Structure 1
Amino acid sequence: MAHEQQEQHEQQRPEQTVRAYRTEELAEAAGIPVRTLRFYRERKLLPPPRREGRIAWYDDHHLARLRTIAALLERGHTLGGIAELTAAFENGRDVGQLSELLGMGWSEETPVRLTPEALADYFEGEVTPENLAASLALGYVATDGDEIVHVSRRLLDASSALVREGVPLAAVLETGRQVRAHTDAMAKLFAELVATHLDDREAALARLRPLAKSVVEAELTMAMDRLLAGAEPDPDDQPRS
């Protein structure tokens, strides 16, 4: 009897090229309560499901959207800001506005829109759920319907080049996380320098930003030169936690 019920259940599940989820199944896969999923749907953060009678069917694109929402919330974005980002995508606004919507108004990076298949080609089969979740948490990628948006062409190209050289994508992402911590600290140092000695902090930061980039690029170049020459790093130069 139980076997027959299982067969009937499987027959009721629609055949799709992507996995189908009922409401409870999607919430469980995303690690959120059902009431949260319904709240996101009411706020139009989640595309409507496909319905068959009274049954709502979701798919992997809905799951990816929920993971994007979770990653953005973890980075400190509000639901209102996430809703604005979602609306921008769904209304067809230029993906170049992604950085601004994510609170990265200074960004000079060029976002890249990719299909899941194209992203997989970039990383030669290493686009696992774990690596995708790490990328979302870092803010490297976001989902837009059936597509994925990477926030930086340069980071995408550098990451894929490292993977082609044989570095696991998980290691690349972990290194990216550590680099993010160091660059955040450097940006804070430069901002404090400007705030201490110059008036109109915002205007000064915008005007002098190229100088900060030049300093970082020069110091990194010299650090790599010292490393390749076999010189021991100066302990006083090591970042302190």
Structure 2
Amino acid sequence: MVTPGETTPDGDDGELTVDQLARRAGVTVRNVRAYAARGLLPPPRMVGRTGYYGRQHVARLLLVREMLAEGYTLAMIERTLTSAPATGSSATLALHRALLAPWLPPEPEEITGAELAARAAVPESPAVVDSLVELGLVERIGDSRIRVLDPALLTAGIQVLALGVPIEALIDAQARVTEHVREIARTYVQMFVETRWQAWVDAGAPREQIEEIRATVARLQPVAAQALLAAFRTEMAGTVQAAVETALSRLAEE
């Protein structure tokens, strides 16, 4: 363990007090405490009543500051850092952010069950909310309030309801669609891991290629979405045609 005032092997200063940490990262002490309260920083090493911070805390604070400057909210930053290694270096956290941030859904929305029902033009039903919770689409955060994890998906669902589809049928269909989409996501991620990522690891994970890895991940999202949409349109056209032909044949027989 590096003691306060010592120097680490790579030349960085040793452990820092909260005031020194704030100065190093270019933020206020108040911000440091606020970020720590949200879980954005791992706990410091305590000596009596004094906390000492290390390079991993500096790295996290610099990443938080950078993401805030780019327009990310604290909630999105929190989701990005939740699965990040607590002792990650600046390079590790930057790579973690690059791999995860492009795939994060929009900012969650908090509403009441009554507001959700009104927006969907359906009667308020705790059972429906339970089904949405089970699907992982919403979270309960109180007796009457819920957190919509992906507002864009909620908007799409409401548009389907407006077509006259019963909400129970929509929830059942979404559960099946989610399973298929999860498998598609695994396919694309595994493809990336087994090819581009593995090649980088086999080369010794050179730091000079981190930006290239980040760029690859950033391009993967729109390319994968385009490919998925194109395949869906083709399959949808064929499925609709078959269904229409079957329906018309039955109508002609009646």
Q: State the TM-score, normalized to the length of structure 2.
A: 0.47
Quick check: which has more Rg, 1 or 2? Answer: 2
